[in-house]
């Protein structure tokens, strides 16, 4: 039997639980905040790059649909019809290419009529993803208001052919591009070359619903007002809103108090939320990004179908 002195000695070690002081905790939080601040712009940039790619792909699908429509009808769709009745809205090019975008049932439901309008405008109240860029925040629209489109067709530059109209609200209608109200253009008339002629571009200012083409108003006789909704004149540079000369669009309810509001509806500029420019479709189905710095003379030349311009610089 062992005596107490012969028993092994057991050493007890103290265990400490590691903890953070308040200062250390604040330092860790600050480091995390810095890292998040550094990573967030990169994440946002990656998301926007993805959205921009989606916008480009939708433009490509629209371009393909325009080509298929031409194959079927031997002409591009009209930029907009002109309704036989005054004050009533006509339908535009987006409606005509619905069958080529695998939305034939929507086209059939709309029932375009011989007056230039539609028997059923219900689809206008629903967002049509084919014509909506995910980079654009459309916001919450009131019930009963038509859902807007992010893409508008190019009616021309006005240097060769302009229908002079009243400037009280809508402005003139340029007719030297591929798309304008009242007529369908076949490829044979695009003598500048399909790869040098704009068809559809991005637009984020002064929207109207995606089905609507144009409206005409008899403020005086003969007809003096045609307000375009599905097409736009190339009157300003890319992303030039509000313009330095004419300020905001006349109907812009969000313009600052006292701001100049002389921009006419048909002249609302093309533009996008993408940094530095906007994407455009061309007659050959290609999509290109044109920067804000694109020379306006070149932009006008690209918007005409038969101007015989010599483009001295790449867009």
Q: What is the pLDDT of residue 194?
A: 96
Closest to 279 (Cα-Cα) out of 134, 91, 127? 134
Residue 302 phi/psi, 5° resolution? -70, -20
As a whole number of angstroms, the distance between CA 227 and CA 202 comes to 19
Q: Residue 168 has which token pair?
A: 């009280």
Band of residue 167 on the pLDDT scale cut at 50, 70, 90: confident
More confidently predicted of 77 and 3 = 77
Band of residue 16 on the pLDDT scale cut at 50, 70, 90: very low
Q: What is the pLDDT of residue 177?
A: 97
Is residue 238 within 8 A of residue 294, CB to CB? The reply is yes
Residue 112 phi/psi, 5° resolution? -55, 140
- pLDDT at residue 256 tops 70: yes
Band of residue 210 on the pLDDT scale cut at 50, 70, 90: very high
Least confident of 38-47, 52-61, 131-140, 148-157: 38-47
Give the mean model confidence (pLDDT) for residues 199-215: 91
More confidently predicted of 114 and 86 = 114
As a whole number of angstroms, the distance between CA 122 and CA 286 comes to 32
Q: What is the pLDDT of residue 12?
A: 47
- Element spanning 104, H or E: helix 104-110
Give the mean model confidence (pLDDT) for residues 230-243: 94
Give the mean model confidence (pLDDT) for residues 216-220: 67
| Average of per-residue pLDDT values in the chain | 87
Tell me the Ramachandran region of residue 192: left when phi exceeds 0, alpha when psi lies from -120 to 50, beta otherwise.
alpha
Beta bridge partners of 12: none
- pLDDT at residue 33 tops 70: yes
CA distances from 100 to 61, 64, 110, 247, 290 (A): 9, 8, 15, 38, 26
- pLDDT at residue 4 tops 90: no
Go through 279-300 and write b for each residue having 16 or more CB atoms within 10 A of its CB, e for each that does not. bbbbbebebbbbeeebeeebbb
Give Cβ neighbours of residue 197 (< 8 Å, ≥ 6 apart).
177, 178, 190, 282, 283, 302, 303, 304, 305
- pLDDT at residue 315 tops 50: no
Q: What is the pLDDT of residue 86?
A: 82
Give Cβ neighbours of residue 269 (< 8 Å, ≥ 6 apart).
203, 205, 232, 235, 236, 237, 238, 239, 240, 241, 243
- pLDDT at residue 261 tops 60: yes
């Amino acid at each position: 039997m062992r005596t107490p002195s012969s028993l092994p000695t057991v050493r007890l070690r103290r265990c400490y639980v590691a903890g953070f002081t308040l200062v250390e905790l604040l330092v860790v939080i600050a480091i995390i905040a810095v890292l998040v601040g550094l990573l967030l712009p990169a994440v946002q940039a990656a998301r926007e790059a993805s959205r921009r790619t989606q916008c480009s792909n939708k433009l490509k699908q629209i371009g393909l649909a325009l080509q298929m429509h031409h194959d079927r009808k031997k002409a591009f769709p009209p930029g907009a019809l002109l309704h036989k009745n005054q004050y009533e809205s006509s339908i535009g090019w987006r409606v005509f290419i619905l069958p080529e975008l695998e939305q034939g049932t929507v086209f059939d439901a709309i029932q375009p009529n011989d007056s230039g309008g539609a028997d059923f405008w219900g689809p206008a109240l629903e967002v049509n993803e084919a014509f909506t860029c995910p980079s654009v925040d459309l916001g919450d629209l009131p019930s009963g208001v038509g859902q807007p489109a992010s893409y508008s067709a190019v009616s021309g530059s006005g240097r060769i052919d302009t229908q002079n109209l009243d400037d009280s609200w809508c402005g003139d209608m340029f007719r030297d591009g591929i798309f304008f109200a009242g007529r369908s253009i076949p490829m044979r008339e695009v003598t500048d070359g399909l790869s040098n002629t704009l068809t559809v571009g991005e637009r984020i200012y002064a929207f109207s619903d995606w089905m609507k083409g144009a409206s005409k108003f008899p403020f005086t006789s003969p007809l003096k007002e045609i307000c375009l909704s599905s097409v736009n004149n190339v009157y300003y540079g890319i992303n030039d809103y509000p313009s330095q000369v004419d300020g905001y669009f006349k109907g812009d309810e969000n313009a600052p108090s006292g701001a100049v509001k002389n921009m006419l509806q048909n002249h609302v500029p093309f533009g996008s939320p993408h940094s530095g420019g906007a994407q455009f479709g061309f007659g050959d189905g290609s999509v290109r990004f044109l920067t804000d710095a694109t020379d306006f003379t070149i932009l006008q030349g690209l918007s005409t179908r038969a101007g015989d311009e010599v483009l001295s610089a790449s867009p």
